[in-house]
Amino acid sequence: MNEITRLTTPSHLFERPTTLPQGEDDRRPQITIDASRVKGLRNHGVAEDSDDRVMSSLSSALEAAEEGHDRHCADALRLAMAIRLANLRSQAVTPAKQGDFEPKTRQARALQTWRLKRVVEYVDNNVSARIGLSDLASVAGLSRMHFASQFRAATGLRPHEFLLRRRVRRAEDLLRNNTTAIAEIALIVGFQTQAHFTTVFKKIVGCTPRQWRVINQMPIVPQLGHLRAATAA
């Protein structure tokens, strides 16, 4: 018997002991196999499930047992192959439910309101300064990892995205209410260059700072009724 047979199917488990007390032999459980049903099982099982390593190992062990004329071991291997084949067919008929094998991830809780308020106030009061993730996490009293996940759960934005949006919002106020140069506004709201400011502003708002200023500083057209009254006078 080769190595795989010794590892997979220890034949001594199926051999009848040579010395048994009188009467014990008749009460011992027997493995009975219908030869007509299992004939050709090795070839059929391996052909149907050629990629199954268990069936391949059982087939190799069965072949070795048959060559060694170990009838008890061969019968046990045929039974194991029949059970394995039935199990494989059952798995093929019953598909796994969607989500059975999807990893369950723990959803991060949202940042508490009072912590979020402190972060927003800090950003607004220091919009012209360099603000990093460590600064925001320190204000919130959390580690950087916990702060980032909880902040996104609360706002739907990453901290850096939120910071850029607050800078752009401040820039809109400055563009609307005064004639300060755009390059200077870029520095006031925390951008190092006008080019970077323009890129971010256009991405968030949809137009350049100059275009936005022109649109939002256009004089309001007087109502038609007032215009007629002024003309009549």
Per-position pLDDT tens, the chain of length 233: 444 444 444 444 444 444 455 554 455 445 444 545 555 555 554 445 456 777 778 778 878 878 777 888 878 888 888 887 888 777 665 555 555 545 555 677 999 999 999 999 999 999 999 999 999 999 999 999 999 999 999 999 999 999 999 999 999 999 998 889 999 999 999 999 999 999 999 999 999 999 999 998 766 545 445 545 555 54
The pLDDT score that the predictor gives to residue 168 is: 97
* Chain position carrying tokens 């979020």: 116
The pLDDT score that the predictor gives to residue 210 is: 95
Q: Give dist(CA 210, CA 216) in Å, integer.
A: 10
C-alpha to C-alpha distances, 42 to 49, 83, 135, nearest whole angstrom: 11, 12, 68
Domains and CATH numbers, the chain: 3-16+31-93 (no CATH), 113-216 (1.10.10.60)
Please say whether the beta carbons of 33 and 78 come within 8 A. yes
The pLDDT score that the predictor gives to residue 104 is: 54
The pLDDT score that the predictor gives to residue 3 is: 46
Instruction: Please state the pTM of the whole predicted model.
Output: 0.51
